[in-house]
Amino acid sequence: MTDRYAVFGNPVSHSKSPRIHALFARQTGEDMSYEALLAPTDGFVAAARAFASAGGRGANVTVPFKEEAWRLADRRSPRAEVAGAVNTLEFGPDGIFGDNTDGAGLVRDLKSNLGCDVAGRRVLLLGAGGAARGVVLPLLLEGPEELFIANRSAEKAARLAVEFARLPGCALPVKPQGGGFGELAGASYDLIINATSAGLQDARLPLPLGIFAAGSLAYEMLYGRDTPFMAQARAVGARVADGLGMLVEQAAEAFFVWRGKRPETGPVIAALRQP
Ligand code: NDP
């Protein structure tokens, strides 16, 4: 029987995940279906449980349900545990397993698709919301020279940095720092990752001149639109990438959790970039 998977979100009709997983399934010969399911904002848990009871094998979870998915899981991977958010659920006889593949997706996109190693680089992470939270540990584990988290609400970034600097049982090679955009004056970074949602509102981030070091990569987690952050970076000659590769890589990581197979992501990214 065909194994059923889904992505839950609200809204969800725009999601590219059904197309991505259909391409993965075709490529690997897996007998599975994958659909986008709209859950009411106050009805995610009921919807996910109903899907599992009807034979669903697993699900992705997107905005705004990742924290609820974390609470729903009976067991969590260490990376989901520290992220405080789950984007991948697996329904099995031992209950619900929760994972977070966003950070692994970002790191794989940076390293494998964009040829940008994090090790030894000065890294600036913009934003302190769910997406930023999910990528802090995977970035730190790569061994950057430094990681600064800057956010509009400065205290949120400072709190996030302290939390990850004090992670129990984890001897990290570098401790992150955090604060407001005002603290960036005079600094420059090799890799700047925009994990804010400012681009959705076409809002320009207050980044000081000189923040993009020579040869730096500006990574915008949003995809499907050109944002003021990308324009700011391009104007000073930085290399620019959007988050489509991260989206496909986090999906590949979820596919691996469910099916134990790693699909080839390059052709899928190329297919999604076709107009
Ligand atoms: P959240 O709502 O959790 O966080 C939003 C963040 O953006 C906060 O840090 C907020 O700052 C900041 N922000 C919002 N508006 C502005 C603004 N005008 N100026 C400066 N900062 C602003 O969202 P998520 O963390 O879940 O998502 C962030 C982005 O990442 C989204 O655009 C999302 O689409 C993208 N994303 C991409 C993925 C991919 O696979 N490519 C995966 C996950 C997310 P404050 O705290 O001050 O409010």
Tell how far the Cα of 54 is from the centroid of ligand 1, in angstroms. Answer: 34
Same domain for 54 and 22: yes
Query: Which two tokens mark 17?
Result: 């995940």
Mean pLDDT by 10 residues, the chain (275 residues): 96 96 98 98 98 98 95 96 95 97 97 97 96 94 96 98 86 90 98 96 96 98 96 97 98 98 98 93
Q: Which residues pair with 125 in a beta bridge?
A: 149, 193
Same domain for 132 and 233: yes
Nearest-CA residue for atom 38 of ligand 1: 221
- Structure confidence at residue 25 (pLDDT): 98
Atom of ligand 1 nearest to the CA of 197: 32
CATH of the domain at 135: 3.40.50.720
CB of 220 closer than 8 Å to CB of 240: yes
Give the catalytic positions in this structure: 66
- Structure confidence at residue 255 (pLDDT): 98
Residue 172: Cβ-neighbour burial (10 angstroms; 0-12, 13-18, 19+): middle
- Structure confidence at residue 169 (pLDDT): 72
Same domain for 132 and 87: no
Same domain for 213 and 114: yes
Same domain for 77 and 158: no
Q: Is 50 in the pocket of ligand 1 (CB under 6 A)?
A: no
For 163-179, the pLDDT digits (tens) are 999 887 777 879 999 99
Nearest-CA residue for atom 23 of ligand 1: 129
Same domain for 256 and 220: no
Query: Which two tokens mark 217?
Result: 């990569």
- Structure confidence at residue 170 (pLDDT): 73
Tell how far the Cα of 169 is from the centroid of ligand 1, in angstroms. Answer: 29
For 109-119, the pLDDT digits (tens) are 999 999 999 99
CB of 58 closer than 8 Å to CB of 256: no
Q: Is 156 in the pocket of ligand 1 (CB under 6 A)?
A: yes
29-43 burial code (b ≥16 CB/10 A, e <16): ebebebbbbebeeee
Nearest-CA residue for atom 17 of ligand 1: 198
Q: Is 221 in the pocket of ligand 1 (CB under 6 A)?
A: yes
Same domain for 222 and 158: yes
- Structure confidence at residue 4 (pLDDT): 98
Tell how far the Cα of 196 is from the centroid of ligand 1, in angstroms. Answer: 3
Measured between alpha carbons, how far is 63 from 72 in angstroms, rounded to an integer? Answer: 15
- Structure confidence at residue 188 (pLDDT): 98
For 38-91, the pLDDT digits (tens) are 999 999 999 999 999 999 999 999 999 999 999 999 999 999 999 999 999 999
Q: How many CA atoms lie within 13 A of 97 on its CB side?
A: 15
CATH of the domain at 55: 3.40.50.10860
Same domain for 232 and 160: yes
Same domain for 11 and 67: yes
C-alpha distances out from residue 45 to 88, 89, 118, 245, Å: 14, 12, 36, 29
Query: Which two tokens mark 165?
Result: 């600097």
Task: Tell me the pTM.
Answer: 0.95
Same domain for 238 and 113: yes
Give residue 139's domain range: 103-242
- Structure confidence at residue 168 (pLDDT): 75
176-210 burial code (b ≥16 CB/10 A, e <16): bbbbbbebbeeebbbbbbbbbbbbeeeeebebeee
Same domain for 238 and 117: yes
- Structure confidence at residue 167 (pLDDT): 84
Query: Which two tokens mark 20?
Result: 């991505």
- The count of domains in the chain is 2
Tell how far the Cα of 221 is from the centroid of ligand 1, in angstroms. Answer: 9
Same domain for 137 and 26: no
C-alpha gyration radius of the chain: 19
